[in-house]
A and B are shown apart, each in its own frame.
Chain A
Amino acid sequence: MSSSENPLPHRRPPSNLITASYPPLSSHPPPRPTREYSLPSAAAPGSQRPGAARPSLISASTPLRPGEKRRGVRPPTVNPNFNQPRGRLTFNAESVENGKGEQRKTAQETPASDAGLGSLRETLRKKSAVKSPERVLATFRRLDGAPIGEGKSGDENLRGENVDSTTKKRRLDSSGELSLNSSLSPGKTTDLIKLEKEITRVTFERDLLKEEVSLERLRTEEKLRKHKQDEDAAMAKAGEMWSQAEKILQENDRLREKMDKAETEGIAMRKQYEEQIAHIKMEHMTRTQQLDRDLREARSENLLLNERFKTASRERHVAVEENHLLKTKLDKLNPLVSELREVRKDNQNLMAQLQAKDGQIADLTTANALLANLPEELKQYRELQIKVPLLEKENQKLRERAALARANEDKIQTLEESIKRYETRQCRFYDLELENEQLKAQIEEFESADLAQSPSKKPRGIQHLLDRIGEMELREKKLGDDVASRNQKIGEMADRCRDLEERIVEVKSQLELSEKSKQMQESRAQDLSNKLAAVSTERDTFKLIKETMDQSSNRRCDPSIMAKLRDLEERATRSQTLADNFEQMYNRAFSSESQFKTTLEDLQRRYEAETVRAHEQLQKLTEENEELRTVKEELEERLGEWTLRMLRGEYDPTRTEVVVVGESPLEAAQKEYLAEAGKVLEENKLLQEKLNQVKMGGGYSGDVTVNAEEFLRGPGEQLEELKKQLEKAEKQRNQDTTFFKKSIQSFRHVCRDLLGWNIRYDGNKIVFRVADAPANETIVFEREDENKPWELRSNDYTTANQVFVNEFLTSHQSPPGFFARIILKILSERTLICMDSPTP
């Protein structure tokens, strides 16, 4: 309803409700005086607004006290603004209180009184003066001059439409009579009597009418009082409404400020969200890229692992081949061992020969000593004596050789030990081969299992590969240990080889020395043979001389010469025998020396061959060692990577599982964040909608001017709308409550029918009772507030079922079990079904 349509002027709000913060209101035309619209209020003068003029109708409508009689009708004081229609008056009071509907209603409810008063006031206004009832009586008494139409008394006027039709007729009749009587002046007496009678009648009627009027006044006054009270209440309500309106305006302002803030925040939030969305998109992109990279890396790792597995299998094959090679080497070494044993035996023989030689040398020395008897042979003997230490040295050297041979024996023993170790290693290698075969079989089985598995299943093959890698690592460690032991042995062998080489060098030097000594001995033998030849020639010469001497002695027969000759002959025979012996010994020594030389050469060859073989073995073992080192390094790298992964938290998904508590702080924080984000999004949506509304409407709904315009349009509409909303809300609430009650009832019925319990819920107290059970058999659970747990209140029934309380509530903390057990107990009692568990 627009202001142009409404005939009533808009009511200005009370001055105390309008503040300086609403400039649009101050720009409106100045309000009319409030007394124009104020109704008289005698009941609650305090509730009257300041500045409002006291209504002039109060005096006219002041209710009479009980028992008090109004002596005369006081002329009603005229309100200067009484010409205003009654509807306005009711608007101010009732529109504020009850809205328009109420206003209309009150206007309809008081048609008689208001219409009567209106007409009276109209007549008074027209006449511009109100006649008192006394004056009317005076006019009646005067019976002249006064116009008939104007002869109505104020009381009659006041009676209005409430005066019944009979009195109206009488009044008309009297007026007609008056007019007739006024025209008939000659018969004054009769007329006067009639008139007096009529006057008495009229006065009686008047008194009656007065009484009626007074009654009517009382009624109207009562009505007015009620109206006033209503009006006062309406005024109070209007004041409240104005305060509410002010609050609404303030709320509007606050909301507008909030809206502004929210708009700015919304824009900022939108920007933030856009940024976040962009950031999330970027992150998503980067994550997808990273995932692609990871996938590629995983694939490449898988390929690498496959390659490594292949290389590992190749390495295994190589190891098997190496085992075979070692076997062959051992097979080759076995004859060497037998050869070494033979060499040992030869050495022993040589030792025996050397001992025999020593004995021979001793014999030779004795022979030399014997030869020394001869003066010439003495020189030789001396020379031989000189040579004896040389021979002794040679003997010593030979002894040393014998010691060397013993050392060789020791070496042979060590070689035998090493051969035994090789044999043990061979056994290990056999074991490893067996393990390899078993592992191959397992790998084949796993590969077949992996092939049989569907792609959706967990990739066990890789895990098995990883397991095998672990096993390989363990084996690698073992192999590393073996390699280390082998390296040690190789080192020992190399040392032995070096020792052997050194010994070979020594033996060579000894051989050279022995050759030199042999040459010396040969030269000596030549010298001796020369000497022997010389001695034999001398002997021959001596023989010749002897013969000649014999001949001469025979001739001369000198006994001294003969004795000398005999001595010389004996000496000669002795020396001859010695020389023969010496020659034999020399021949023997020469033969033994040649044998020794041959054995030495054989030994040298064997040593050379052994050293070559050892070198080859050493080279192979070093190569093997290097290969194993590389394998070890690779496996160490893998192990390092694996340990790093383990440190980073990687695990075997087939064996281990990562579990967390469902209600973790992370979960709570994420929920909180999501809730906050939801709220913010909702606010943002609302703000967006408001923003759109503002954009579409070209103005802001929370604008003060718009609010003021809406307010000026009339608070009644808002109130009506609010009332409608309130009614709707109340209806909805009632519907909800009835629905909730029905659902509660149905739920309780369901609980009673299906679970056997009557449940009564009262805030923090629940009372359970078995259906069809006595009223005192109840189970009561209580709690202090929502955060505290439910606690059982003890009563006779619970003490009777204390066993169940202890069993289910105290020990297991299972109320469902407790209730179920009680139901079972009752069932067993009612149906005689025996339960296993004890009954209290």
Chain B
Amino acid sequence: MATLQAVKLDQAQKQSAITLQGSAALVGDYLYCAINSILYMRGVYPTEMFESVPKYGMSIFDAKDEELKSYLEKVMKWTKDWMMEESVTAIVLVIINPITKDIVERWQFKIMCDQQHAEEKTEKSVSGAKPAPTMEEIRRQIGSVLKQIVASVSILPATPLDAMNTFNILVYTKDNLDVPADWQESNPHFIRNAQQLHFRKIHTSVHEVDTCVTYRSE
């Protein structure tokens, strides 16, 4: 009986374990929601260009504008593909003034992927150590980080109303990665004399996303 129960438990744990593909999809969804929220909260685009969507136990603002949506989807699609190849190390959302080219804020999503580590973890979890996080737990983590991002608006310096800011998404990839022709190399857009604000980490069993915002100290 005991062996049967153990086998059933192992099977259940293996079924609940997240694959690389599932983890990449979750992280991609988180990045999409986070970028949309940031663009809305930081006033990069007018509020009319967003619509409220219930997700992760809160209302998230999703882009309505087709052009913006297609751009974000394009970036996210490639990012997910590269995450599957474990070639992405970070995604950076840079808010820039296009006239003065001043970098206002730099939202960094550091992505750490360790497939072997994840496999070891799953083995450990199967063997009785700390179990891998379930989908609900990961969703809860993502929701909490998104709430932190929304709450960080009160801490970050206020953007002036007449500021015509725009944004760009940088993808930190491995050097030997073949990128499509419409992608090009970019500078990392550092902020001098910057201050950091760290958010919670998101742990799937495969990926770990470390979110951080860097802004110019007044």
Q: Which residues of A pack against B, CB within 8 Å?
A: 290, 644, 646-651, 653-670, 673
Report how far A424 CA is from B89 CA in the complex, Å.
40
CA distance A290 to B185 in the complex (A): 24
Contact among A651, A657, A662, A667 for B177, CB-based, below 8 A: A657
Contact in complex: B185, A665 (CB < 8 Å): no
> What are 7 A-to-B residue pairs whose CB atoms are below 8 Å?
A647-B214, A648-B106, A649-B188, A651-B172, A656-B172, A660-B170, A665-B71
A661 contacts which chain B residues (CB < 8 A)? Answer: 71, 74-75, 169, 182-183
Of B122-130, B155-163, B191-199, the one with at least 4 CB within 8 A of chain A: B191-199
Bound complex: CA of A644 vs CA of B108, how far in Å?
13
CB distance from B207 to the nearest CB of A (A): 17
In whole angstroms, how far apart are the Cα atoms of A666 and B94 in the complex?
10
Q: How far is the CA of A647 from the CA of B107 in the complex (A)?
A: 10
Q: Tell whether, in the assembled complex, residue A660 and residue B184 are in contact, meaning their CB atoms are under 8 Å apart.
A: yes
A670–B186 CA distance with the chains assembled, in angstroms: 15
Tell me whether A658 and B108 are in contact (CB under 8 A). Answer: no
Q: Which of B143-200 contact A (CB under 8 A)?
A: 164, 166-175, 177, 179, 182-192, 194, 196, 198
Q: Please, how many angstroms separate the alpha-carbon atoms of A644 and B89 in the complex?
A: 16
List A contacts of B169 (CB < 8 A): 660-661, 664
B68 touching A658, Cβ below 8 Å: no
For B194, the closest partner residue in chain A by CB is A648
Least CB distance, A457 to chain B, in whole angstroms: 14
Interface of A is mostly: mixed
Chain B residue at minimal CB-CB distance from A654: B175
**The residue from A659, A668, A669, A670 contacting B170, defined by CB atoms under 8 A apart:** A659
A656 touches B98 (CB 8 A): no
Taking beta carbons and an 8 Å cutoff, which residues of B are in contact with A? 68, 71, 74-75, 89-90, 92, 94, 96, 98-99, 106, 108, 110, 164, 166-175, 177, 179, 182-192, 194, 196, 198, 212, 214
Residue of B nearest to A671 (CB): B98
CB neighbours of A673 from chain B (8 A): 98-99
Say whether A660 contacts B196, CB under 8 Å: no
CB distance from B214 to the nearest CB of A (A): 6
Q: How far does the alpha carbon of A486 sit from the alpha carbon of B195 in the complex, in Å?
A: 39
- In the bound complex, residues from chain B placing their C-beta under 8 Å from that of A663 are 71, 182
Pairwise interchain contact A665-B196, C-beta atoms closer than 8 A:
no
Q: A647-B212, A659-B183, A669-B166 are in contact. Are A664 and B71 (CB under 8 A)?
A: yes
Known: A656-B174, A661-B169. A649 touches B183 (CB 8 A): no
Q: How far is the CA of A163 from the CA of B188 in the complex (A)?
A: 100
The residue on A at minimum CB distance from B101 is A670
With a CB–CB cut-off of 8 A, which chain B residues contact A649? 90, 92, 106, 108, 188-190, 214
Measured CB to CB, the closest approach of chain A to B59, in angstroms, equals 24
Chain A residues near B96 (CB, 8 Å)?
666
Q: CA separation between A138 and B171, bound complex, in Å?
A: 116
Closest A residue to B97 by beta carbon equals A669
Interface centre among A654, A657, A659 (most CB of B within 10 A): A659
- From known contacts A661-B74, A670-B98, infer whether A651 and B108 are also in contact, taking CB-CB under 8 Å: no
Contact of A666 among B68, B167, B191, B194 (CB under 8 A): B167
Q: Of A650, A655, A664, which one neighbours B174 at CB under 8 angstroms? A: A655
Residue contact B194 to A662, C-beta cutoff 8 Å: no
Q: Are B185 and A657 in contact (CB under 8 A)?
A: yes
CA distance A649 to B175 in the complex (A): 16
